[in-house]
Amino acid sequence: MEETLDKCSTGFDLLVQSQKIGDLVMKITSVVEKCHKLEGSMGQLLDKKTIIQMANTFIQIISEEDLPEEQLDNIATKILESLNG
């Protein structure tokens, strides 16, 4: 798909390639959905609760190091903020 889009330098090119681009989008969407379903059925997806538990474990491990309290707080805050997007 990237190659097809790279070849389009004008609006006309996009119009001419629109059917091919649309087909590629549908195929890519289908592959992503199938992979997601397969990962879910294999138990390879993490839910938010598990990710938060992992983050807390990481914070606990880091806190066992000899770092100033302010640095530990900053690290913990950044890790938890990253989970919220």
Q: Is 8 left (phi over 0), alpha (psi -120 to 50) or beta?
A: beta
Helices vs strands, H then E, count in the chain: 4, 0
Radius of gyration of the chain (CA): 22
Q: Give the pLDDT score at 85.
A: 67
CA dihedral 47, 52, 57, 61 (to 10 degrees): 130
- Give the residue with greater pLDDT, 45 vs 22: 22
Q: Give the pLDDT score at 76.
A: 86
pLDDT at 75 over 80: yes
Q: Does residue 75 sit in helix, strand or coil?
A: helix
pLDDT at 26 over 90: yes
pLDDT at 63 over 90: no
**What predicted TM-score, i.e. pTM, was given to this entire model?**
0.53
pLDDT at 41 over 90: no
